[in-house]
Amino acid sequence: MGSIKRISKELTELTESPPEGIMVELADESNVYEWRVKMDGPEGSPFHNGKFLVKLSLPTEYPFKPPTVSFATKIYHPNVTNDEKGSMCLGMLRADEWKPSSKIAAVLQFARQLLAEPMPDDAVEGRIAEQYKNDRTRYEEVAREWTRKYAC
């Protein structure tokens, strides 16, 4: 499969020159489709100093179909589902927005950027989004607390 070649290539690039705050490895050395990503909470966000485990799953049709990103570490964020899945809603990963020329590095950087700047209008957790919009202080308090509790 051509996809394995491209995935390996991206993996090599990401391990050799990782973007800021992002560390990737395969969840299982024999399976290039499941990645474990350690993401540092971006500075200036309530997630700062937290280390989040992110799972990245690539479809066998990659790069023609988008990867999926989910947070294994609990996180208080409007764009991450507050359940055992921790799915992250990324516009660029939607089937109709995905472009095969997007790289995994870009996806992960985008995900990390989303931690710093949530998109409440595109939220999966409406209550957190409301709080983010209307009571930013309280939102940051809870997010920091969760980060301390789950991500340190």
Partner 1 sequence: MDSGDRMFCHACGGVWLKDGGLTCPHCESEFTEIIEIPPEQPSEGSPSHRADSPSPPRVNPWIDRNPWEGDTQEGQGPGLLGGGIPPYSSLRTYRSPDGRFSFSSATLDTGTPSGQRNNGPNPMVPMMMQSFDTILQSLMEPNPRGYRGFGEDPFHAQSSTSPDWLEDDHLTGHHPGLSPRNADAPQPNNRNPTDLAEIMDAIRADIGIQTTRRARGARGGPANPQALSILSAILNMSRSEDAVYSQEELDRVITQLVENTGGTSTAAPPATDAAVQALPRKRVNEEMMGSEGKAVCSICMDNVELDLEVTVLPCTHWFHFNCIHAWLTQHDTCPHCRRSINSNIAGGEGTCENPVVIQDSPEQPRSHRRHSSARTVRSGRSSLSSLPSRISPRRSPTPEGGQSSNRRSSRGEGSSGGGFTSWFTNRFGSSA
Active-site residue set: 89
Q: How far is the CB of 41 from partner 1 (least distance, A)?
A: 29
- Name which of 53 and 105 has its Cβ closer to partner 1: 105
CA distance 145 to 125: 18
Q: How far is the CB of 128 from partner 1 (least distance, A)?
A: 22
- 3-class DSSP assignment, residue 10: helix
- 3-class DSSP assignment, residue 87: strand
- Name which of 4 and 152 has its Cβ closer to partner 1: 4
Q: How far is the CB of 52 from partner 1 (least distance, A)?
A: 26
- Name which of 48 and 103 has its Cβ closer to partner 1: 103
Interaction site with partner 1 (CB under 8 A): 2, 5-6, 9-10, 63-64, 94-96, 99-101, 103
Closest CA relative to residue 112, chosen from 58, 57, 69: 69
Q: Position of tokens 């995905």?
A: 98
What is the 3-state secondary structure of 22-59? EEEEEEECCEEEEEEEEEECCCCCCCCCCEEEEEEECC
Q: How far is the CB of 89 from partner 1 (least distance, A)?
A: 11
- Name which of 95 and 137 has its Cβ closer to partner 1: 95
